[in-house]
Amino acid sequence: MPKRTHNVRLIRREHSYSIQEVAALYGLHKNAIGRWLKSGLKAIDRSRPILIHGSDLIHFLTERQHQRKAHCKAEEFYCLRCRAPRLPMGNMADLIPRNEKLFVLHAFCALCGGAMRKVSGQKKLLLYQQIFDLATPAGTHLTETPETSLNRALKEECKNAPKHPRL
């Protein structure tokens, strides 16, 4: 994927955009905006046509561009609260498969306790297994430690994550 920077000043904060309008704003195919929606861009609601609020678009692009600039190392996550790469609390991460190629790691920032996540490909799975104490959503590798509330909180976080309609 090309590492482009999108100028958020083009976006009107109080305006609602259709997918086509966002695509036109940056000279992108509408499928690219569909990928943004799948990777965390919020839609106003689930009705069609999908509309995106300007402030959500600004937030999404700003955070995405911060993440790129941060250049997290393999053992780090980008913490949105600290706005910096951080190590996960207890070196623990939850692994949630997304499809046969991608998975999402969820963890908590060791410094501020904020929820952190990163999406990665299967080829990095072995590496992450060596770095982190990984747990699956099914709980198969979860140990009964005082940290179970942390795991519960992580699951809550995942359950509450907005689901975006497929485009």
Give the interface with Zn ion as residue ranges (CB under 5 A).
Answer: 79, 81-82, 86, 109, 111-112, 114
Please state the closest distance from residue 68 (CB atom) to Zn ion, in A.
Answer: 18
Residue number with CB closer to Zn ion (112 or 125): 112
CA pair distance 87, 35, nearest whole angstrom: 27
How far, in Å, CA of 60 to CA of 8, rounded?
10
49-86: b or e for each residue (b if 16 or more CB lie within 10 Å)?
A: ebbbbbebbbbbbeebeebeebebeeebbbbbeeeebb
Least separation in angstroms between residue 82's CB and Zn ion is 3
Nearer to Zn ion, 6 or 118 (CB): 118
Q: Name the residue nearer to Zn ion (CB basis): 91 or 129.
A: 91
Which of 4, 161, 5, 153 shows the shortest CA–CA distance to 98?
Answer: 161
Comparing CB distances to Zn ion, the nearer of 109 and 150 is: 109
- What is the 3-state composition of the chain as percent helix, strand, coil, each rounded to the nearest 5? 40, 20, 40
Nearer to Zn ion, 57 or 116 (CB): 116
Element (H, E) at 31: helix 30-38
92-97 and 84-86 beta bridge pairing: unpaired
For residue 84, the minimal CB distance to Zn ion (Å) is 7
Measure the CA–CA gap between 46 and 55, rounded to whole angstroms: 17
Query: CB of 147: closest distance to Zn ion in angstroms?
Result: 17
Closest contact distance (angstroms) between CB of 159 and Zn ion is 22
